[in-house]
Each structure stands twice: as C-alpha cells, then as structure tokens.
Chain A
C-alpha cells in the first residue's frame, strides 16, 4: 500500500515535527482577532507564524490553519505555492537570500552569490528555489528586489538585513554563522 498523497503535496514533504503550544494557539487567536470582518484574512499571518515556528509549511501546517479558519485545505495550500516567502521543506539553519534585481546586479550581487555558494559548498539542481546544504546548516537562494538599491548588493541572512555585501563581507557573514 502506498501512502495517500496530499493534494498538491509532493510525497517528499514530511510532516513537521513538534507540538503546537498553548502560547502559539494564543498568538494565533490574537492574529485572527485583527480581522473582525473575515478571518480568512488571517491565512498569511498564520502561515508566517507556522513557518517561523516549524521552519517550513508541510501538511500539518496546512491542516491546522485550515481548521482554525474554517477553510478548505486547498485555500491554504494555494497560498503556500503562490507566495515565494513560504517553503514546503526545511531550509538551512542559516538561510541567505541575495537580491538579484538590476541595481544589486549592477553592484555585483552575482559575485556575492557565487562566493556564498562556494563557501557553503552548494550545488544547483537546476530547479527554482533554495539550495540546501546536506548537513542542513546553510541554504541559499536569489530574491527579487529587497528595496535597498542604494546600498547594493544587499542580502538577508535569516531575518537580518545586510548591506553592501561584497565578496569579503559575504565571507565574514558565513564565518559569523555560529
């Protein structure tokens, strides 16, 4: 017997491990309360909350959010696949997003990306989305304009924003991943 496939979910998407704590439930309820007219509006905030807690959005997250907001699971999943910020698999402990848009490209973001890729020993599989190191320590992807074109090239390392990241600075940032 094969495992039944979740709609739109690759069979490789593993259920997230970990428990939804009462504190997380309370946080979610607070987020929902910000949308008195339609709780469906809370899908994005709850997806953010889930991804920040569990690292990615798998079948458990989709189910939990759908239940919480009285939606069909597809109404949650279709947002996961639409919005580039959300991911369906775990990324590295240190996730790097390098801006690839024109001003950053003029400023050398291609070199920054190549430097990071080399330092992290990552190989592209030719697919869209992030490259993740085998030990789960690093992941790397291009991002579109991060709105700081005057200090190009810019990157995000997890939630930290870094400006003027040339090859030297990129090397320091990787070394600073503790």
Chain B
C-alpha cells in the first residue's frame, strides 16, 4: 500500500525548477491570497481561522483561533505585535528550515495575512542564528515583498501599513519558549516570564498584546484564507485538522520530512512504509514522537485510547504502538505528545542509558538558570546519567534520577522543566531494567558494544 503525501505547506518544496524568489512564488499564485484577505477583512479571516480548528505547530498544539481571540483589535488601545517563532530548535525538528530556505514567501504571505487579521502594524521574525543563511533569505524576501507593494505603507492601496523585521537569536534553545523569546527580543537574557500575569496576549512584547505563532502555523493561515476554514477542517481528523509536517530522524532507512493530513497515517506506517523501516536488519526499540521533550514510546506497547464509537459514545480502545495515529489527540492519549512533529527512531542496538544521557546533556546545556529546581536539577540529571553511561553508575541511581526529575516538573516558571523531566521519567519508567543491567555491568564492560552517544 502506497502512502501518498498530501503536500499543502510543502507543495513547492523541492519541486523541480521551483526557486525561492518572489517571481517564482507569484508565478505559482503567490500573494493572491493576500489580495483576497485584504478584501475579506480582518474579522472574516479570524473567523475562518477559528472554523479551521488549526492548532499551533510549534509544540503545544494550542488552537490558533483561540489564541488570536484573546486579543480584540477593536478594543485594545495599545499597539498589537505579532512575532513569528522561527527559533526551530527542538531536537528532531527540521520542518521550518525547509520553509525558510526553500519557500520563504509562503511564510511572509501567511505572516502578513495574520498581522492584517489582528490589526498588527509591527511584526518581528525571530529566527535562530544557526540558520546562517536563513535570516538573509528572509530579509531578502521581505525586501522583495516591500518592493512589490505587499509590505510597508498602504499595502496594495488598502490603507493598511505593516513592517516586518528579522531578529536573530544567539544560540539559546529557551528562546523558543514564547515569553523567553519576548524577553530576548527586548534585548535581555531569555528568562521566561511567569504566567499569570505575563500572558503574551495581555502583557507581551513591550508589555503590549502580542501573538507568537510558529512558522508552520502562519503558513497554514494562507491556506485557510484560500480554501476557507470549513474546507480546511475537513483535512485530517476532528480536533486534529489540516496537514502535519513530520520530521523523521534516527534509525530509519529514509529519514526526512513528510506532509500528511493530521492523523492520516500511523506511527508504524510512517516508520515502515514511508521511511522504509529500520536499517541493517535491526528492529525498532523506541521512538520519541514529537521532539526530544516528548515522552518516549517503547516498541510493543499497547495504549488505551479514548475514541468515539459508532453511537458517539466515548470508549477505550486498545491501540498498539504501530497503530497509533500521528495526531495530537492520539499521541497525547498514549501519554506522549505530537509536539513539534520531530520523530526520533531508535533501533535495538541503542543503549537507552546513553540515549537519555545525550538528551539530558542537551537540557543541562539549555536551562536558562532562572528557576532553582531546573538549574540545579538538570545538571544532576546529566551528571548521574553520564556516570551511568561511563560505567560508573551506582545501584540507587535510577531512583535518584527519578527523584530529581520529579522535583523539577511542575516547579518551574516555564515548560522547560517538564521538557527536561519527561524524557528522564519516561525512559526510566519504560526501560528501567536496562539502566539496572548497565549499572550492574559497571566499569569498562558497560561501554562494550555501543557507539558512544555522550560527549
């Protein structure tokens, strides 16, 4: 059975002859939706986005229409800002990179439409600086759009003014957290703000109402304007509408980025049919389905997922790992999350203690240091996991790890605490025996047959 992609956002990505300049974009219908949107008017666009049931593609999956509805442009007296979060740095995720590098005008058009819909006159595009060419591509695209009258003063003679500026980050993962991003954009250390009261919709950039949306989310707005919210909502599944960009990495034959209607394929189909399965005759051991912050899933697991039966009653259904739908609700039902769409696959040659040590090294490096449980805890997680990986583990280390992780989650200002704790809790919960074996086999023998993943 073939699994044909449904390319909406990625329609032109990698298409032969497609280039990222505005001429090519316009030849393929680019900026026609801006014209349409300007005639529809802001409230109508917001209504369509609401109807589309689009959920944010950055990680949390919050409904975009609801996020926008927190701000009423007709009542707010302060300026309203919009920030595009292009700080793509969740390990396992590389979808926004494709859009920025290969089809930047799609993002710019989606962004202009979203700004127009919400009465925004000044917007920033916060891009991670490791996209060393990406920020130049975006600045160039903005220049092109300006020259063509799609940006700047009196856009297409509609009387609407908008400026978009590119702002480069400087290598800190925490800038992907929206309030950390705002602090960073204000020229400060990216310390996330506490909510309440600092909800971006109320007290965002410069203490004004602010919308922060992911790259993929903003691109979707263009397609919602094109097809209408109801038609968009027919793609995918109820409450999991539209397409989803999936990034697959790790131990698969064909890693890469793919686009499918949300929930149209299962995790098993994605790994075995789309990505060609596990290489070297190996078998699946574990998979992280939504970026490294998502809880790990173990091969062979069966989950109880709540679903509606034919009479519309909610019933528990047993779902095997391979049969898990790649959508928000199914992955949440399995105790993990769809997150940012980054699927990391590990085969049966991989040592789970080493994989987790690698993940915890990442979080130890990236904690902003603001909250004590996280700042101190992530370093201990790294330290303990590194000694296990190095063959110096102690008998009570698994319990100690769990104890430290449990004391981080729920005790921090932002969700980074959970993001750092969840991998530890889930790896330990699902592969505890592997940690114990590794500790028992202490010394040089512990490192015997694995390729070291820790540095």
Contact surface of A with B, Cβ cutoff 8 Å: 34-38, 40-45, 47-48, 69, 75, 78-79, 82-86, 97, 100-103, 105-108, 110-111, 113, 142-152, 156, 159-161
- Give Cα A78 to B131, complex, Å: 23
**B228 part of interface (Cβ distance < 8 Å):** no
A to B CB contacts below 8 Å, 26 in the list: A34-B165, A38-B186, A38-B206, A41-B186, A43-B187, A44-B184, A44-B187, A79-B170, A86-B170, A103-B92, A105-B454, A105-B455, A106-B344, A106-B346, A142-B455, A143-B130, A145-B89, A145-B173, A147-B89, A148-B94, A148-B97, A149-B93, A149-B247, A150-B257, A151-B255, A156-B132
Q: Are A78 and B189 within 8 A (Cβ)?
A: yes
- Chief secondary structure at chain A's binding surface: mixed
Decide if A102 touches B171 in the complex (CB within 8 Å): no
**A84–B249 touching, CB < 8 Å:** no
A146 CA to B171 CA, complexed, in Å: 10
- Report the minimal beta-carbon distance from B123 to chain A, rounded to whole angstroms: 11
Is the C-beta of B302 less than 8 angstroms from some C-beta in chain A?
no
B173 touches A144 (CB 8 A): yes
Identify the 8 closest CB pairs spanning chains A and B, nearest first. A83-B170, A149-B249, A85-B171, A103-B249, A40-B187, A84-B171, A43-B187, A85-B170
CB-based contact B89/A45 at 8 Å: no
User: B36 at interface (Cβ–Cβ under 8 A)?
Assistant: no
- Which residues of chain A are near B44, meaning CB under 8 Å? none
Q: For the complex, what is the distance from the CA of A95 to the CA of B387, rounded to whole Å?
A: 30
> Does B437 lie at the interface of the complex (its beta carbon under 8 Å from any beta carbon of A)?
no
Among A34, A41, A78, the most chain B Cβ lie within 10 Å of the Cβ of A41
Q: Which residues of A contact B288 (CB under 8 A)?
A: 102
Contact B366 A144 (CB under 8 A): yes
Q: Is the interface of B mostly helix, strand, loop or mixed?
A: loop
Chain A min CB distance to B350 (Å): 7
Q: How far is the CA of A86 from the CA of B222 in the complex (A)?
A: 36
Q: Evaluate contact between B185 and A106: CB separation under 8 angstroms.
A: no
Closest Cβ of chain A to B453, distance in Å, is: 4
The residue of chain A having its C-beta at the shortest distance from the C-beta of B186 within the complex is A41
B188 touches A (CB below 8 Å): yes
**Which residues of B lie under 8 Å from residue A107 when comparing CB positions?**
249-250
Report Cα–Cα, A161/B315, bound state, in Å: 49
Q: Evaluate whether A41 and B185 lie within 8 angstroms (CB atoms) in the complex, with A100-B455, A147-B89 already known.
A: yes
Q: Name B162-198 residues within 8 Å CB distance of A.
A: 165, 167-173, 184-190
Determine the distance from Cα of A105 to Cα of B454 in the docked complex, in whole angstroms. Answer: 8
- Tell me if A48 and B365 are in contact (CB < 8 A): no
Closest A residue, CB atoms, query B254? A150
Residue among B90, B93, B455 with most chain A CB within 10 A: B455
Give complex CA distance A147, B89 in Å.
6
Tell whether, in the assembled complex, residue A113 and residue B167 are in contact, meaning their CB atoms are under 8 Å apart.
Answer: no
A99 to nearest B CB, angstroms? 9
User: Which of B168, B189, B362, B452 meets A45, CB within 8 Å?
Assistant: B168
- B361 nearest CB neighbor, chain A only: A100
- CB of B209, distance to nearest CB on chain A (Å): 13
Q: Which of A100, A106, A159, A161 has the most CB of B within 10 A?
A: A106
- Let me know if B73 is at the binding interface, CB within 8 A: no
Cβ contact within 8 Å between B451 and A147:
no
Whether the Cβ atoms of B250 and A103 lie closer than 8 Å is yes
Which of B186, B368, B453 has a CB less than 8 Å from the CB of A106? B453
